[in-house]
Amino acid sequence: MVDIFTDNPYFQKMYPKFKATRFALLVLMISIISFRFLNGEKYPSFTLEGTDGKQYHHNQFKDKEFVCIILYSNHCKISQSFEGLIKEISEHLDSENSMLLLVSPNNEYALLPDELAYSDVGDSLKEMRIRSKERNFEFPYLYDGVKQSIPNQLSAKSTPHAFLFNKTRSLVYSGRIGDYNDPDNLEKSDLYQTYRSARNHTHIKQVITKVHGTAIKTKEDIFIANEVRRRYSEESVKVRPINQQTLKFFLKYNLGKTTLFYLWSAKDQNSRENLLILSEIYKIFRKRGLKLFTI
C-alpha cells in the first residue's frame, strides 16, 4: 500500500522526521482542509470605489457591530429580485450600529450580450451609478470588477451571495439572502434571521446555506465573451423581397413575440449607426423571443 504522504518524495524531503500513523495522517489532513476552509472565512481586506465616488477601506468599519457584504450583479435577475429585501436589511443594520456593503464583483467586459437580457444596465461602475440612483440605494455600492479582491478572498463564485461578519470579524453567515420563491419576505431571510440570532447571542454556530444565481465574470472570461461576439459578427442575414400583403401578415400575426420593424434608407446618414445599435439589441434580447425585421 502506497501512502500519499509518507511515500511521497517531496513530503519526505520536507518532513524527514515525520513518523506516520493513521491518527497523525488524519490530523494532518484535517488541519490542511481546515486551514483552507478557515482561510476563506476571514474578513476581506479591500480598497474599493463606490458609486458615490468615495474610496472605501475595510478598516473604516471598526466601530460597527456587524458588517454584511453582499455580492450583487446589475445584470443578474436573481440579484435584482432581492433588492427590496437588501434595502430592508440595510435599514435594520444601520439602526443597530452595523453596516451593509453591496459589492459588484463582475468584470463588465466579460459579459456575453444575451446576459443583459434581463437588465437595463451592465456591470460597469458608470452603470452601477445609474442602478444605485434609480433604485435609491442608500448604502455603499462598491465596484470590484478589476481585481475582484473580495470574491477571491471569500471564494465566492456567483451572485447574489451574502456574508455576515460579527464584531470580531468572524464569519457567522455565508449563503443566500433569502427565500428565492419569496424574495421580499424578511422573516424567511436566512441572512437576517442569522443576524438577529447572533445579535441576541443565541447564535451557536456558523450558518452556511446554498447559493443560486449568476456566475461571477472574471477577466479570464473576457476571451470567451470576445469569441462569442466574433461568432455573432459572422452570422448571416436573410434578405428577401417583401410586398404589402406579407407586411400586413407580419403586423397582424406576430405569433405572440415582441417584433421590431425598422424602415430605413441607404440615403439616410443615420441608418448605418441605427442598424448597428439594433443588431446589438437583437443579440441581447433574442433569447427572450425578440424578432427584428429591417425594411
User: pLDDT tens per residue, the chain (295 residues)?
Assistant: 334 334 444 334 444 444 444 434 333 343 333 333 433 468 999 999 999 999 999 999 999 999 999 999 999 999 999 999 999 999 999 999 999 999 999 999 999 989 999 999 999 999 999 999 999 999 999 999 999 999 999 999 999 999 999 999 999 999 999 999 999 999 999 999 999 999 988 766 899 999 999 999 999 999 999 999 898 888 888 888 888 888 777 777 766 678 888 888 888 889 889 988 888 888 888 888 888 888 8
> What angle separates helix 83-95 from helix 190-199, to the nearest 10 degrees?
10
Residue 203: what pLDDT? 64
Residue 245: what pLDDT? 84
Residue 43: what pLDDT? 96
Residue 292: what pLDDT? 85
Residue 254: what pLDDT? 62
- CA gap 237, 242 in Å, rounded: 15
Give the cell for residue 180: 428565492
DSSP H helices in the chain: 9-14, 22-39, 77-81, 83-95, 125-134, 149-154, 190-199, 222-233, 244-252, 271-285
- CA gap 258, 290 in Å, rounded: 5
The one-character DSSP state at 122 is: -
Number of separate helices (H) and strands (E) present in the chain: 10, 12
- CA gap 199, 96 in Å, rounded: 10
Residue 241: which residues within 8 A CB-CB, separation 6 or more? none
Residue 102: what pLDDT? 98
